[in-house]
């Protein structure tokens, strides 16, 4: 058998030895609690998907908006597909992306892409729309008596703003909220239970106009006031400043017919009595309250008037006034006046026709048998009624009052031989007239 070369005889044992040593070394490295192949050790953290919310949004030119980033592995970076229309900051802080769109002539779609630190991406599709324009908020008062850009206390005014597109055309059916910022006024509503409010939302009309009616507080002192109109779709707003002016003079809006009534008495010695004048009230806000400067000089009928075009009545009582002033105040404090002049007439005083002389008949009566006798008398002339008296006598009618002319009465109750008994009659003239008679009982 031929001999093998020396190197072949030694190579195989050496390979076997090195192989066994490697197995021993590898076995010695394992088994410890910190070994990489420990099945109980926690695995690497799980990174979730990346989100941008909302995933689709509509924003308006020059109206700020935001997107929110969540998930993924921060920090984040943001990129815009059209930075001229919708620029964004590349570094995203606090997981919020602030959007400030530029002007656009029509709806423009921009893609916002967000990338996290491990390369995940998410997008939001943003539509940039032209922003409606709010023109100047105007205040038009119901009356201009208090001046330009002013509202009289207690009065109303109309606040108007136009919602318009980039071309200037009005945008209909847009919700616009009007808010009281400051001042003594409120906004009228269509709710009978709450007719006034500090905030009211209305819808723009076919021309894009949105309007509300303002109501200034009654007798409010002069002061500045502010109102704001906000387009609820975009958040755009505009503010107007006006002045509330205290106004109690109501002659420009209240009227009374007649403004002055003049009446005269029958003659130079007398003023009118029992004459009725009707004063009709127009304008303002009912009910109206009426008062006078001389309450005892007239009788006021219906001093509270509840409807325009209705009258209060003044009835004279003979008192002379020049003038008597009626003050008429409406429900919100505006006032106006009317007057009454009641003066003596121009005719000379006619002296009264004197009453005819008072005549009593007979003037004497004599009887020798007075006991049980009755004596009759007749009265004429003078002024009714008559009053009869005779001491100790029984007079019929009872009380001695005679109310007719000619009138009669009777005397009784005397005794025979009682002598002479006087009988007296007076009338109601000024001065009084009188007549006498005697009864002789012999």
Q: Which domains does the chain have, with CATH numbers?
A: 50-129 (2.60.40.3440), 133-245 (2.60.40.10), 254-343 (2.60.40.10), 359-441 (2.60.40.10)
What pLDDT was estimated at residue 31?
46
**What are residue 165's DSSP bridge partners?**
none
Closest CA to 291 of 330, 327, 337, 322: 327
Closest CA to 251 of 330, 367, 358: 330
Pairing of strands 359-361, 374-380: antiparallel
**pTM: predicted TM-score of the whole model, two decimal places:** 0.47
What are the start-end ranges of the E strands in 330-414?
A: 335-343, 359-361, 364-367, 374-380, 386-389, 394-396, 401-402, 407-412
Burial class from Cβ neighbours inside 10 Å (0-12, 13-18, 19+) for residue 135 reads: middle
Contact 143, 99 (CB under 8 A): no
Pairing of strands 56-60, 121-129: parallel
CA dihedral 315→320→322→326, nearest 10 degrees, is -30
* Integer Cα distance of 109 and 127 in angstroms: 4
Q: What angle do CA 211, 216, 222 make, to 5 degrees?
A: 125
For the four alpha carbons of 238, 241, 221 and 157, in that order, the dihedral sign comes to negative
Please give the chain's pLDDT, 442 residues, in tens. 344 444 444 445 444 444 444 443 444 444 444 455 666 777 777 889 999 999 999 888 877 889 999 999 999 999 999 999 999 999 997 889 999 898 788 889 999 999 999 999 999 999 998 877 677 899 999 988 888 899 988 889 999 999 987 777 888 999 999 999 999 999 999 999 999 999 999 999 999 999 999 999 988 899 999 999 999 988 888 999 999 998 877 777 789 999 999 999 999 999 999 999 999 999 888 899 999 999 999 999 999 999 999 999 999 999 999 999 999 998 888 889 999 999 999 999 888 788 899 999 999 999 999 999 999 999 999 999 999 999 999 999 999 999 999 999 999 999 999 999 999 999 999 889 999 999 999 8
**What are residue 424's DSSP bridge partners?**
389, 436
Number of Cβ within a 10 Å radius of residue 217: 17
What pLDDT was estimated at residue 129?
86
């Amino acid at each position: 058998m031929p001999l093998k070369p020396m190197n072949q005889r030694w190579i195989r044992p050496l390979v076997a030895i090195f192989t066994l040593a490697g197995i021993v070394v590898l076995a010695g490295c394992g088994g410890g609690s910190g070994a990489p192949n420990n099945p109980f050790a926690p695995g690497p953290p799980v990174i979730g998907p990346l989100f941008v919310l909302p995933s689709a949004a509509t924003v308006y030119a020059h109206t700020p908006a935001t997107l929110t980033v969540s998930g993924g592995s921060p920090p984040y970076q943001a990129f815009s597909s059209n930075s001229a229309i919708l620029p964004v900051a590349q570094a995203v802080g606090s997981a919020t992306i602030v959007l400030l769109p530029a002007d656009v002539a029509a709806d423009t779609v921009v893609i916002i892409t967000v990338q996290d630190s491990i390369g995940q991406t998410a997008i939001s599709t943003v539509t940039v729309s032209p922003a409606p324009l709010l023109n100047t908020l105007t205040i038009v008062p119901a009356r201009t008596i208090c001046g330009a850009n002013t509202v009289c206390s207690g009065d109303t005014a109309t606040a108007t703003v136009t919602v318009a597109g980039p071309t200037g055309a009005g945008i209909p059916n847009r919700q616009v909220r009007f808010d009281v910022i400051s001042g003594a006024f409120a906004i009228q509503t269509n709710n009978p239970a709450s007719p006034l409010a500090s905030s009211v939302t209305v819808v723009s009309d076919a021309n894009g106009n949105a309007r509300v009616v303002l109501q200034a507080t009654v007798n409010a002192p002069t002061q500045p006031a502010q109102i704001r109109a906000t387009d609820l779709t975009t958040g755009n707003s505009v503010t107007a400043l006006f002045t509330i002016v205290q106004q109690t003079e109501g002659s420009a809006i209240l009227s009374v017919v007649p403004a002055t009534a003049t009446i005269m008495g029958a003659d130079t010695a007398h003023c009118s009595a029992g004459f009725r004048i009707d004063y009709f009230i127009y304008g303002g806000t009912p009910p109206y309250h009426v008062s006078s400067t001389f309450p005892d000089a007239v009788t006021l009928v219906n001093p509270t008037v509840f409807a325009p075009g209705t009258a209060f009545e003044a009835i004279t009582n003979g008192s002379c006034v020049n003038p008597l002033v009626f003050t008429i105040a409406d429900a919100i404090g505006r006032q106006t006046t009317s007057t009454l002049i009641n003066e003596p007439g121009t005719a000379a005083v006619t002296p009264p026709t004197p009453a005819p002389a008072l005549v009593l008949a007979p003037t004497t009566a004599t009887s020798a048998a007075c006991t049980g006798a009755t004596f009759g008398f007749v009265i004429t002339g003078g002024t009714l009624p008559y009053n009869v008296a005779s001491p100790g006598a029984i007079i019929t009618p009872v009380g001695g009052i005679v109310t007719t002319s000619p009138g009669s009465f009777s005397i009784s109750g005397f005794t025979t031989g009682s002598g002479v008994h006087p009988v007296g009659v007076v009338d109601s003239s000024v001065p009084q007239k009188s007549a006498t008679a005697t009864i002789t009982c012999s």
